[in-house]
Amino acid sequence: MTTNTPGTTSGGDVPNQQQIDELVQAFTSQPAEVFAAQAQAFDRAFPQDFTAQNLLGAIYANQKDFARAEAAFRKALAAQPDALDTRFVLGIALFELGRHDDAVAILGEVLAQVPNHGEAAFYRASSLHALGRHAEAAAALEALLAAEPANVRALDQLGHCLIALDRPDAALALFERAIALDPAFRKARLGLIALLEEAGQHRQAEAIARAGAALDPDCPEFFERIGWIRLLLDNDLAAAEDSYRRVLSIDPHRVDSLNNLGLILHRRGELGGALDCFALALRERPEMAALHSNIGFALQQVGALDDALAAFEEALRLDPEQPWLRGQKLIHQMLLCDWRALAEYAEVADTLGLDGEGIASGGLIAMDDDPARQRARAEAYAAQHASIVPAPFGPRAAGERIRVGYISADFHDHATMHLMAGLFRCHDRNRFEVSVFSHGLNRTGAQREALKAHVDHFLDVAGMPDAEVVDLARAHNLDIAVDLKGFTQDNRIGLFAHRLAPVQVSYLGFPGTLGAPFIDYVIGDSVVIPDAERAHFTEQVIRLPGAYQPNDDQRRIAPVTPPRTALGLPEHGFVFASFNNAYKITPREWDIWMRLLGQMPGSVLWLFKANDWAEENLRREAEARGISAERLVFAPWTAHEDHLARLRAADLFLDCFAYNAHTTASDALWAGLPIVTMPGRSFAARVAASLVTAMGLPELAAPDDAAYEALALALAQDPARLADLRARLAAGRTVQPLFDSARHTRAIEAAYTAIHQRRMAGLPPADIDVPDEPVAASAGFGPEA
């Protein structure tokens, strides 16, 4: 038989040395397509020759083309069945192909002939592990290690088997042994890092990763773990970014690093860069649900709300079992007034955020006035921070000023400062040392500059890692740390898990319980937290007299109220207004509002223009109820003092139900605009009732839907009664507690004094009702246990 191969003529079916050399040369130096053609010709020429097929199998295995390697090795074994080494490498090829049953059988045949064949024993045990036969794999590896105690791969593989057998401590010891024998052994070091992270020992994991990176600087996994731990433990954006950029310099296609770098840029407000990172990651892994969700958040921030919804929907399609993905989509739909979300929410209300991974509950409040569910969700979400063990606090000398630290991202022209400016201005700095820790990116504005004059310390900690912020707060020896964010956007609740102060308080920013064991108190009042709903708060409750909400009694209103026509309003028709955020509006109140318009010819509903999609949906919902879309007027954003002035052009403010107007309600009352509200059960659903009660107008809080509608209609149809309400509002601004900044500050300071004195007396936190006119306390107003 004569067979031709490229460049060679031979008589016979056994390759000569020249043909072998030409094949090897093609493999080592020729383009892939040249080698492929030569290898196929070589295979056809010598299909039954052991040497030829064994060589082809070895070359294919070197190329990681294990399917062709298997075929070649099987041909070689057909020619020479007792070739033990060929049988062994066939077993490895089967292992690499994931055909572990076959690998176990073939490698078992090798071991039957050579029981001390360490490599065969290792790969066979590895296939057993891959098959889930962990106990058998562990026994085989232990036998191998008895013969080869310094076999680091066997130590590593046994470690992974023991993890599967729920023996993490033993696995950790094996990984440590492997690293001690070979510090550069990457796989064992990564296994140890993963175990330490799983056990919550992140500092140790970071140290192991850093040592690995020093020994193996081209290993992207080490830098990836360092970046993640920097984010997780300390919110250290700069260090994490450095690590992820190092990863991407090694391997620019690593999806997790691209995704996490995108998250870092998003948190810094660099949305374009974030979207670029997400787009690169998406090319590599289009099926990654969390990536689509992150794209959705970034698109939401740049105002591409329709594209954001598509991204959230795709994320949920890819991973429909993830509750936080569903929660994000539903919350986003509410921003658009896409009320299909409410029906979908009703189907999952009893499980969303309660089964599996927790979700931030704030965005769901508008869909669910159920304080029991709100507490359960808050506890599930807060649990991710609960494992941090804070360092103890040192002794505190009596007689010094009480040191209070306020922590927020909103110390700029923001609703928080519109409310709290008077409190900061009125703080008794002889009795209280006031510090502000600002972690927001917005560093501008007159409100921010004015605040600096009213506090002892203004500390800009934006971008600062958690550990540094905690150290800074500890250096200021805070007695009380006050969180003004809760679970709202841009919060840093993780700081409080480290304990910034011996006593920690939730105030103003989040209308409900945080469910966190590291938050000792929540500040409310008897309306927002009545006795009937007290059980839905994990914190001890401080009830202030009047309203829990602070207000600045020096808020400026622009001197000129624009004419109605300049605001797009009818000159003579009745103007109902609701400047609530669009996500708070639901069909329940919308039905009432549309009926009111129907019963008041010529009237309009004046709303805040949140976005084009919400406006379009609300106009459609009006038409569906027989009300012309032209009777909806949407007001754009304007400066706060101008907004307060334009509110005077309205006749009556209509509140939302599950999530009331909060700052928006006090804006209306300060501007002299009456508000009709209806208290629900949860904190968020009772705020406006608290405000009108503190304004001396409790009759504006209707007990139910029917009474709410009847009251609004009666006021709209009775100009004299409405004028009387406006007069009472105007008179009450100077005498009622809602707009008395000094009085509110005295109540807050009385609460701080009480909780501080309880701590100094060694008493645990307890509920505190602050008297209407605070008096000095010995060990707090609450019970003694």
Give residue-wise pLDDT tens across range 561-577.
Answer: 999 999 999 999 999 99
| DSSP secondary structure letter of residue 677 | B
pLDDT value of residue 774: 46
CA distance 443 to 412: 7
Sign of the Cα pseudo-torsion (425, 426, 432, 438, in order) = negative
> Which stretch of DSSP H or E encloses residue 102?
helix 100-113
Q: State yes or no: pLDDT of 391 exceeds 90.
A: no
Structure tokens that stand for 764 in this block: 């645990």
The confidence band for 239, taking pLDDT boundaries of 50, 70 and 90, is very high
- Of 161, 231, 776, 121, nearest to 492 by C-alpha is 231
Angle at 584 between CA 580 and CA 589, to 5 degrees: 90
The confidence band for 776, taking pLDDT boundaries of 50, 70 and 90, is very low
Higher-confidence position of 32 and 505:
505
pLDDT value of residue 10: 35
Cβ count near 1 (within 10 Å): 7
Q: What is the 3-state secondary structure (H, E, C) of 471-518?
A: HHHHHCCCCEEEECCCCCCCCCCHHHHCCCCCEEEECCCCCCCCCCCC
The confidence band for 269, taking pLDDT boundaries of 50, 70 and 90, is very high
* Residue with the two structure tokens 């939401």: 300
Angle at 125 between CA 119 and CA 131, to 5 degrees: 140
- Ramachandran sector of residue 112 (left: φ over 0; alpha: ψ -120 to 50; beta: rest): alpha
The confidence band for 389, taking pLDDT boundaries of 50, 70 and 90, is low
The confidence band for 2, taking pLDDT boundaries of 50, 70 and 90, is very low
Read off the pTM: 0.86
Q: Tell me which of 188-192, 324-328, 509-513 is least confident.
A: 324-328
pLDDT value of residue 9: 32
CA distance 46 to 76: 10
**Share of residues in the chain with pLDDT > 70 (%):** 96
Q: State yes or no: pLDDT of 31 exceeds 50.
A: yes
For 690-739, the pLDDT digits (tens) are: 999 999 999 999 999 999 999 999 999 999 999 999 999 999 999 999 99
Q: State yes or no: pLDDT of 785 exceeds 70.
A: no
The confidence band for 386, taking pLDDT boundaries of 50, 70 and 90, is low
For 36-93, the pLDDT digits (tens) are: 888 999 999 999 999 999 999 999 999 999 999 999 999 999 999 999 999 999 999 9
- Of 335, 276, 340, 332, nearest to 309 by C-alpha is 332
Sign of the Cα pseudo-torsion (122, 123, 129, 135, in order) = negative
pLDDT value of residue 387: 56
For 141-198, the pLDDT digits (tens) are: 999 999 999 999 999 999 999 999 999 999 999 999 999 999 999 999 999 999 999 9
CA distance 611 to 256: 32
Are 230 and 465 within 8 A, CB to CB?
yes
Q: Characterize 361-376 residue by residue with b for buried, 16 or more Cβ atoms within 10 angstroms of its Cβ, and e for exposed.
A: bbbbbbbbbbbebbbb
Structure tokens that stand for 697 in this block: 């107008």
pLDDT value of residue 398: 79
Q: State yes or no: pLDDT of 491 exceeds 50.
A: yes
Question: Measured over all CA atoms, what is the biggest interatomic distance in the chain, rounded to whole angstroms?
Answer: 117
Residue 83's Cα: distance from chain center in Å?
Answer: 58
Of the CA atoms within 13 Å of residue 139, those in its CB half-sphere come to 4
For 533-558, the pLDDT digits (tens) are: 999 999 999 999 999 999 999 999 99
What's the mean pLDDT when you consider all of the chain? 93
pLDDT value of residue 388: 65
pLDDT value of residue 396: 85
Structure tokens that stand for 408 in this block: 């927020």
